[in-house]
Structure 1
Amino acid sequence: MTPTAIHPKITPIYQTSVFKFDDLDAVQQYFDEPGSRYLYSRNGNPNSDELAAAVNQWEGGAGALATGSGMAAIFAALMTYCQAGDHVLCAADIYGGSAALLNLELSRLGISVSYVPFEELYDLNSHVQPGTKLLLCETMSNPLLRVVNLRAIAEECHRHGVKLVVDNTFATPVITKPLAHGANLVLHSVTKYLAGHSDVTAGAVVAGTPEDAARLRQIGTVFGLTLSPMESWLSVRGMKTLRLRVAAHSYNAQQVAEFLEAHPAVEAVYYPGLPTHPQHVLATGQGHGLFSGMLSFRLPDDAAVVNRFMQRSQRFPFAPSLAGVDSSCSHPLYTSHRALTDEQRADLGITVGLVRLSVGIEPVEELLADLAHALS
């Protein structure tokens, strides 16, 4: 059977680092007609391009880049707008890995950073500097699930001539599409909900304009951020069930949050789906009634108490990542937010008693029974 007679329903895995050319004319065509064919997988591969196109379609963007991790996606987003001498604003409620990149590495590139408390995000007058290029924030913050009013923050950023970069990992485009609210770039740790099965490490950045999309592509090629074919293929496969999974995650997390809120051993619960959450009304409108599968809750600030919970739980193993179909728990103080200063952690309320749950799609009654046992 000739290759032209093969019509697979699913894109094959192009596990190749290089593509063949017949002659010099074919090579010239590659450079004269961008996108007409492939040359080298760092520059582009059918699988990584398919993933980028899928994320771009979900977010309603003008083009996207698939990267080797969520951290690579953050780096690509920052490099799209920044160079030596520039200044970056970042929401104080931010993933610890993002803070590590900003604190430890950007300064070496001559880029300064300062943090904006959650309550001041909608009035940046005292934070914007002459060289401020962008503000980085999360749709739903990690780990306290504070929800940002995207339209309001976009208007404030653009009033100052500042780009808005949004990490949409917790929400996913099923719940919220930041570009539609005025964001300039949207990024994801594809490792999490988009791929969804805890078997991939990947990232993606989506641009709101063709110019930014072209810049992202250049950054991905020059810095070697491109995702491998196998990881791209697995991510695309995972995304085929994204809508169903996010709905199931959200349903289960709502039940878990309500159970924890009523439990006498729990001091506080942080989940936007609860009416007691400070941004519940905003999250309801901005998220179309879905609130993600992520939540945090507070136990007494006693490591022994936290350890007993983790040791007794069978359905929420201590696994410091999130968003897989199987539930897990994490501990921000000991894992994701170690890179923050003691002062930053104290300001955010990240103490030894704070536990983060990634609620999976298992039968919810099994999850509730496990939590009742672990907390008893």
Structure 2
Amino acid sequence: MEKKKVNSKLKLWSLTLIVMILFITGCGGAKQETTTSQSEKQGTDTATEAETIKIGLILSTTGTFAPLSEGIKNGFELYLEQHDGMLGGKKVELKLEDDEANPQVALRKYRQLVHSEKVNFLVGPISSAVVYALRDEVEKDKIVLIDANAAGDDLAWAKKSDYVYRTSFSNWQNGHSTGAYLANNVGKTAIAIAPDYPAGKEVVRAFKAAFEEAGGKVVKESYPKLGTNDFATYITDAANTKPDLVYAFFAGSDGIRFVQQYKDFGLQGKIPLGGSLEFGDELIIQPTGDATEGIISGVVYSPYLDNEQNNQFVEAYQKKYNKLPNMFSVEGYDSAQILDKAITEAGSIKSEDVIKVLKGISFDSPRGPITIDPKTNNPIQNFYVSKNTKKDNVIVPEVLETVEKLTMPETSPFPQ
């Protein structure tokens, strides 16, 4: 009897042990299965994140430069729409920040985008002063900046960076493009007027060099404050000085006010007005209308340029935004286009891989063929010396001369 009790106890302990082993094994297996499932899920999430590119847009969406920023944003978004929201085969997430055309604000917004939002690329800014402020941060963080507008000359010279590539134009190109034509065809004496900030002084500097090299003479330079509402003092001074022509550079709302006041003070048609590419652009032509008639400028883009890509671009832009594109629309469009091509060719979104492709990259723009000069990281492109002409009650920049493949000097031709 005692022996049977012992055997029964042994059988009970054995059964209990087997159950415990099976339970532990089962729990371990379930735990392992759960861990594997979480690992697979994490891998899937990471892969999804890797397929999304974050792009930070640093633009001046308020103030004088707001219309320029709108054009860049519109052009960039149109390109994305035409390519299923993708660049280089990867989905794009845009992050837009307003730098207020203020270098200190821009630095704060830059750090937010790069350090907090972890964007992969930057596009912008508008202001030359802002791009100069951002340059060292970009260099330190090794993040690619596609300069969609800021035209500061030194960005191609002393402040050139392997991480900054311009898709717009330089101030040197902008000012230089019409200098010889105006000296040879309009007059030999000129007054130059531009806003008192880096772009204004650099554009006038380049115009003056080209104008005087062709036999002209800039007899006076004036630099009103950026955001000036009343140009009466400067226009009256030009009327009293009586030069052969006035050369002016103003962008955005400043340009609209200057052109309108130039007409209102009776100088239109009396003293020829020549200017930077902004004066032949829809952004100023549309709101000022007849006041722009007769202005000669060196443009990089017009919706009236006759090439297949531009015809398609204009049609698509009008369909999406119900208005003609301007120069800044093309800057945004081309910024997306160059990123698309560079990422595709690099097969990577890593800065070190992408910059190898960006050096010397070429592409066809609605404005014509573009090559990024590896010596300056600045676009080699055509400029079109144009005269604003009225055709069928519409002001059209009629091309008088094409300056082909205008290339920025490798080093500054100006005394330091």
Superposition TM-score, scaled by structure 2 size: 0.31
The one of the two structures with greater contact order (alpha-carbon pairs below 8 A, sep at least 6) is: 1
Point out the structure with the larger strand share.
2
